Chains A and B, each alone.
Chain A
Amino acid sequence: MHNCREVKERLTELILEGRSDSELAAELNPCAECRAEFDGVNATLRTTTRVRETAIPADSYWPGYHARLRDKLSHVQVRRRKENTGASFAPLRLCVNFLLRPVPVPLAAASVVFALLGLLAFQSTRKPAAPQSVVVQVPVTVPVVQEKLVTRVVYRDRYLPSRNSKRTGADLRAENTFAKSQMPRPDDVPTLAGFKPAADVKLTVIKGGTPNER
């Protein structure tokens, strides 16, 4: 059953898909209106095909066209080589460009504040890393301080006779004699003669009468 509307919708496909004449005749012959439509569309497409070659410029146009194209290609090639040469510095250049880019003051201030807050938050959450103990044996020379304690005991009579004392002179001589007898003889007095101190000498001088008094 011939359907004009359907045929008109498929008219372009019928023409452009290169259907054979018999197929087209089967579709179009029954209806004069469809045939006229087909002829109109077909003539339009034939006209566009005929004038298509007109769009191509004359032969004299092409040498200039290719010379201009070659010039543009040379520029592209030079630019590409420059880019390849500078490719190794690209990350550094990006960083520098990013840092040197002008930024509005409020935005910069906000960025700094956020960076500080982030740093503080990071510091507060970060656990101190356990130090890794490494045993290293290093010979160390420790100077030993040689210490020699020289002690001299001096006895002193604390209880002097009072004015009202009834001690006699004989008593006093006797006490002095006893004290003298307790004193070391000149041969027994320790001296530092012959003592060879070490490099570091520590002298402790004990003075005073009470044991804890130095």
Chain B
Amino acid sequence: MADDIELIKRAQAEDIDAFCTLAERYARRIHLLASHYCRNQQDAEDLSQEVWLKAYQALQSFRFDSSFYTWLRRITINAFLNHRRSGFFRRQGQTTAVELMPLDSETLSESSLASPENIYNKLLFESVVQALSELTPSQRLAFLLRHYEGMSYEEIANAMNCSTGTVKKGVWRAITKLRARLSTESESQEALTSLANEY
């Protein structure tokens, strides 16, 4: 299997296949961030694909002085913040209820997804996304980068062009929101779990 450097060089020569191979390697990580940042799957797909399009257009500027994912993550952060500025999420409305992931027959036909534990986790995930949606985009992004990406506060502050204190405050506020949301819904989730078991 070709390594990243070889694929990048081929992609810089406008080889779309090489770039798509790179995308297949990292698409899940980018999509994971996007799905936590957005509130429905369609927005998450649009945003993650926009990241890849921006990466493809900017690939000539990649100088191999960092890992490809580090470079890609910087593009991801900028794309997320620009989406925030362009009102991409405002048009969805900040107070609308979170859209549950469709539990259609195709999805449920996969045995791993149809398990009660998985359904419970999906409901928990919706609660997490709901809690994150009540934060500002910067706070939400700071939490995702700190908790899921393991970036330091300084790295996040540098990437988001804000102070370290702002990042810490955002992360703390996100955890407080999540804690409150998950604790208040624990009882209803237990009821939903029993419902899922019956289903």
Contacts and interface: CB of A to CB of B under 8 A. Distances in A.
Contact of A47 (B27, B122, B124, B146): B124
A58 B113 contact: yes
Interface stretch (A68-76, A88-96, A117-125): A68-76
B15 to A, nearest CB: 10
Contacts of B122: 51, 54
Interface stretch (A59-67, A108-116, A181-189, A206-214): A59-67
B56 interface: yes
Interface of A: 9, 12-13, 16, 40-41, 44-45, 47-52, 54-58, 60, 62, 65-66, 68-70, 72-74, 76-77, 80
Q: Which of B146, B148, B175 has the most CB of A within 10 A?
A: B175
Given A68-B49, A70-B16, A48 B56 contact: no
12 contacts: A13-B168, A40-B183, A41-B179, A45-B147, A48-B128, A52-B125, A54-B121, A54-B125, A60-B106, A62-B28, A65-B49, A73-B52
Nearest to B180: A44
Contacts of A66: 20, 23-24, 27
B121 A51 contact: yes
A49 B49 CA distance: 24
Contact of A51 (B19, B52, B125): B125
Nearest to B107: A58
B125 A69 contact: no
Given A45-B147, A60-B110, A74-B16, 13 more contacts: A12-B168, A16-B147, A44-B178, A48-B147, A51-B121, A56-B31, A65-B45, A69-B20, A69-B23, A72-B53, A73-B19, A76-B56, A76-B57
B35 interface: yes
A136 to B, nearest CB: 57
B157 interface: no
B151 to A, nearest CB: 10
Interface string B102-123: 0000110010010000100110
Interface residues of B, number: 40
A90 B86 CA distance: 29
Interface in B13-52: 14, 16, 19-20, 23-24, 27-28, 31-32, 35-36, 41, 45, 49, 52
Contacts of A52: 32, 36, 125, 148
B182 A62 contact: no
Interface of B: 14, 16, 19-20, 23-24, 27-28, 31-32, 35-36, 41, 45, 49, 52-53, 56-57, 106-107, 110, 113, 118, 121-122, 124-125, 128, 146-148, 168, 171-172, 175, 178-179, 182-183
A54 B56 contact: no
- Which applies to chain A's interface (DSSP): helix, strand, loop or mixed? helix
B16 A62 contact: no
A56 B45 CA distance: 11
Contact of B16 (A44, A51, A55, A77): A77
A69 to B, nearest CB: 5
B179 A51 contact: no
B31 A57 contact: yes
A13 B41 CA distance: 31
B19 to A, nearest CB: 7
B153 to A, nearest CB: 8
Contact of B110 (A48, A49, A58, A80): A58
Contacts of B110: 58, 60
Nearest to A64: B45
Nearest to A81: B14
B50 to A, nearest CB: 9
Given A45-B147, A66-B24, A77-B16, A55 B182 contact: no
Contacts of A54: 118, 121-122, 124-125
